[in-house]
Chains A and B, each alone.
Chain A
Amino acid sequence: MTGTGTGIAMSLADVAGQLESGMTIGIGGWGSRRKPMALVRAILRSGVGDLTVVSYAGPDVGLLVAEGRVRRVVSGFSSLDSIALEPHFRQARQNGTIEFTELDEGMLHWGLLAAAHRLPFLPIRAGLGSDVMRVNSQLRTVRSPYADGEELAAMPALRLDVALIHLNRADRRGNGQYLGPDPYFDDLFCLAAERAFMSCEEVVPTERLLAAGPPQSLLINRAMVHGVVEAPGGAHFTSCVPDYPRDEEFQAEYAASAATPQAWQDFRARYLSGDEDSYRQAVRQFRGRPAAPARTGPP
């Protein structure tokens, strides 16, 4: 390992310890793709609740909602991709146990961009004429001050207390690299947040970053994040290509856990009652593989 100092390496529990009830947290990835699931599981192990969660939502939101940690979801959808509807989110909406700020996907992008740019809002055409304006009574429109005079939706900044993202590689100073096809909006989530924490599949020495991908794969720079956690399998069961695809069998097991309250209790007892190592072990048992020794923390 080269570089100065010890970097900003943290543990999953360290990150969870930075969160407080009532915070607004943003979660990177998209649907059931490259979600910081190990960090989400760390939140579940902490006592944090009453969260507002901003996300292109998938099982990250589903798990937090199922455990009653969420007051409000801010999103345009909630999906497991290969399973169209996120079952726990769906149930929470139908039971009226969460509040929902339902936005067009592009509005969510614009709200993050406004926050990242420290602007109060950004004008956007999306939303006009639709019921997004009806169900979000706080949304306003703004008129162009120029000759066109066009009226547009004024998407307010989505400022975050904390952002959580998961990338393929990072160094211990906070430079992060994605190796899959899409950066999603992870950089914007970080810049929209007071503090951002990045988990990754593997922490590598800085000089090894470019061995894995070109310079433009270095999506996150160290000015964007405040902590790095090495969490192999940290996006499981969402996809983290090219390291691993979505674990469809396990995702189906997760989706089935929304069927009855007992099914959820069984799921959380089996997979969420211990630390990340015991989660991995339980997943290996589910997949019928012999339990291998777990990797330890950052090198």
Chain B
Amino acid sequence: MTGPGMTGPTLAEICVVACAEAWRGDGAILAGPMGLIPALGARLAQLTFAPDLLVSDGEAGLLAPLLAPSGSGTVTEGWLPYRSVFTMVAAGRRHVMMGASQLDRFGNQNISCIGDWARPKAQLLGVRGAPGNSINHPVSYWLPRHSRRVLVERVDMACGIGYDRAAALGAPGNRFHEVRVVVTNLAVLDFRTPARTMRLRSVHPGVPVGDVLAATGFPLTVPDEVPVTRRPSAGELALIRDQLDPAARRERELR
């Protein structure tokens, strides 16, 4: 058990909370986390500051915003098979946090393939639901390895669309497009700049701004004062460690 003498937060725990923050203020919409740390973040948000959030169990169930009486189990509050997920996507009642094999300064994301699409050097997942997600509702990204290989000048295949493509599409087609935040193992980034290009929003505790810039394959907008990503509260740490991920699988996602 954790208690007053608990150890300080690990990087993975800071990232869980940074992911959770992406859904703050979203209300009763479906959180769509891809990856363990975003999934822990969505559940943490739901159990603390965002109780209205809908969270999937990874199959077709929805988890109620409470812990089972046993303390560590879950309570199912709803049913959401894939066909209903697609309807929630089109209805805009969702905010997804996807991964990215490549992400550019405008927030164009690639999870399909590396190299020429016709004969890729590396076939990856495929576009999945990224095109539909990015044109229908807010999307955020989780990058466990912030590097120049991932944060690139140009993506090989635009799956989730960024602000330049949304602008080219114009109104009214682009009215539901929003890339909210990018959480990495080094920092939190957003697109709150006049040209809607990527900006450093905060660095995780102990990470120098120079390290973030060096690991990014394009120029980042950097505010005069760069905030530090907030640390988990004692209550959040206890939830993460004792309830949501007692086996500490979160630490492996950053290796």
Contacts and interface: CB of A to CB of B under 8 A. Distances in A.
Interface string B96-129: 0000000000000000110001111111111111
Interface in A100-158: 102-107, 109, 124-132, 135, 148, 150-152
A84 interface: yes
B165 interface: yes
B59 interface: yes
Contacts of A185: 82-83
A94 B129 contact: no
Contact of B132 (A84, A85, A107, A151): A107
Contacts of A102: 112, 117, 126-127
20 contacts: A75-B126, A79-B126, A85-B125, A93-B113, A94-B121, A102-B127, A104-B130, A106-B129, A124-B132, A125-B132, A125-B173, A126-B136, A129-B161, A129-B177, A130-B158, A130-B160, A131-B127, A131-B158, A135-B117, A151-B173
A66 B104 CA distance: 34
Contact of A85 (B123, B128, B174): B123
A75 B125 CA distance: 11
A94 B81 contact: no
A129 B128 contact: no
Interface residues of B, number: 45
A109 B89 CA distance: 13
A-B pairs with the 5 shortest C-beta distances? A126-B132, A77-B126, A130-B131, A181-B60, A93-B123
B168 interface: yes
A104 B158 contact: no
Interface string B57-83: 001110000000000000000010111
Contacts of A232: none
A197 interface: no
Contacts of A30: 82
B32 to A, nearest CB: 12
Interface of B: 59-61, 79, 81-83, 86, 89-90, 112-113, 117-132, 134-136, 157-161, 165-166, 168-169, 172-174, 176-177
Contacts of B128: 76-77, 104-105
Contacts of A105: 82, 86, 128-129, 132
A78 interface: yes
A132 B165 CA distance: 13
A182 interface: yes
B173 A150 contact: yes
A129 B127 CA distance: 13
Given A105-B132, A125-B173, A128-B169, A84 B127 contact: no
Nearest to B112: A102
Nearest to B89: A106
Given A94-B122, A126-B135, A106 B127 contact: no
Contacts of B168: 129
B92 to A, nearest CB: 10
A126 B117 contact: no
Given A129-B173, A130-B131, 18 more contacts: A30-B82, A76-B126, A84-B125, A85-B125, A94-B120, A94-B122, A106-B86, A125-B173, A126-B90, A126-B131, A129-B131, A129-B174, A130-B127, A130-B135, A131-B112, A135-B117, A135-B157, A182-B60
Contact of A103 (B83, B113, B127): B127
Contact of A181 (B59, B83, B172): B59
A96 B38 CA distance: 35
Contacts of B169: 128-129
A104 B112 CA distance: 11
Nearest to B84: A182
Between B132, B158, B174, the greatest number of chain A beta carbons within 10 A of the residue's beta carbon is seen for B132
A299 B135 CA distance: 51
Nearest to A144: B172
Contacts of B121: 94
B76 to A, nearest CB: 10
B132 A181 contact: no
A90 interface: yes
Nearest to B174: A129
Contacts of B89: 106, 126
